[in-house]
Amino acid sequence: MMMLNRSQHMGGRSQEKNALEELERIRLQLIDRCEYQNEKNWVASVSCLNRISLSKVLFYDEIVRRITNIPGVVMELGVQWGALTSLLYNLTSVREPYNFRRQIVGFDTFSGFPERSLSQAELDQGWKAHDLAGAADAKQLAERCLEAHQVFSGMSHMSRHEFVEGDVMETLPVWFDANPSATVALCVFDMDLGIPTREALKHVLARSQKGTVLVFDEYAHPRFPEEGMMVRQVIDTMKLQPMKSELLPYTSYIVL
């Protein structure tokens, strides 16, 4: 079996790796040097946000703007550290400040890939159980981050987020059963693997409606080919068009 080191897993040229490390050093120095708290947040975050991360922010703003006129929750399948959860929370706070019903629900094992989610092809590619696990306190960090962002929302007295821990193949049907009135406005599939994407997609489709947006983060990613392959097993792409934003190379979305 081919084993990959972390940089092979995550990709990128050595110049990019060096530039990322340099931005990280600068970010910590800026936090240290800036005098005011709001200055630390703005200067350190924005100066060091590279083109790739900025493209993601702009892409998800396009996506959130597509759902402001349809009901339902925003789901994120595959949360890891909660970065995208925070972004989705903040974008919905900006774009629909008074929609207290726009729940952001993030699902993750918080311990990386479950063994039974990996196909033989993915194992042969070098992926293994618990890859992409964050730290032991990743969920707590994500929770703290969302609580801090809530303070800046237009309806700061109301919580609009929830994290669901466990294998999505078990937790997603349970969540839908516990929330019979919930429909899906937006679901971001970001688990990277084929099997949980296929199974979750079936559950999500059953609660979707016309206009629901489904984002597949690795729809055309050579390191995760099974995500797109499994989507195409469930969805007829001759009838539903996967759209590619000009901002991101691997991600596609479908508007039902």
Region of residue 253 (phi > 0: left; psi between -120 and 50: alpha; otherwise: beta): beta
> d(Cα 4, Cα 16) in Å, to the nearest integer?
19
167 touches ligand SAM by CB under 6 A: yes
| Cβ–Cβ under 8 Å, residues 145 and 86 | yes
Among residues 59 and 81, whose Cβ is nearest to ligand SAM?
Answer: 81
Tell me: does residue 108 bind ligand SAM (CB under 6 A). Answer: yes
- Could you say which of 73, 88, 190, 252 contacts ligand SAM (CB under 6 A)? 190
Is position 79 an interface residue for ligand SAM (rule: CB under 6 A)? yes
**Is 194 among the residues that bind ligand SAM (CB under 6 A)?**
no
Helices (H), the chain: 6-10, 14-33, 37-39, 45-47, 51-67, 83-95, 120-124, 138-150, 168-178, 194-206, 225-234
208 binds ligand SAM (CB under 6 A): no
Which residue of 60, 89, 113, 163 would you call a contact of ligand SAM, by CB under 6 A? Answer: 113
- Any contact of residue 163 with ligand SAM (CB under 6 A)? no
Q: Residue 147 and residue 151: Cα distance in Å, rounded?
A: 7
**Residue from 44, 80, 91, 127 in contact with ligand SAM (CB under 6 A):** 80
Q: What is the 8-class DSSP label of residue 144? A: H
Residue 214: enclosing H or E segment and its boundaries? strand 213-216
From 63, 168, 213, 231, residue interacting with ligand SAM (rule: CB under 6 A): 168
- Cα distance between residue 72 and residue 69, in whole Å: 10
Using Cβ positions, the residue closest to ligand SAM within the complex turns out to be 78
- In whole angstroms, give the CA distance from residue 56 to residue 247: 7
CB of 28 to ligand SAM, least distance (A): 21
**Segment contacting ligand SAM by CB under 6 A, of 92-100, 179-187, 190-198, 245-253:** 190-198
- Least distance between ligand SAM and beta carbon 119 (Å): 12
Q: Give the footprint of ligand SAM on this chain (CB under 6 A).
A: 76, 78-81, 83-84, 107-109, 112-114, 117, 132, 167-169, 190-193, 196
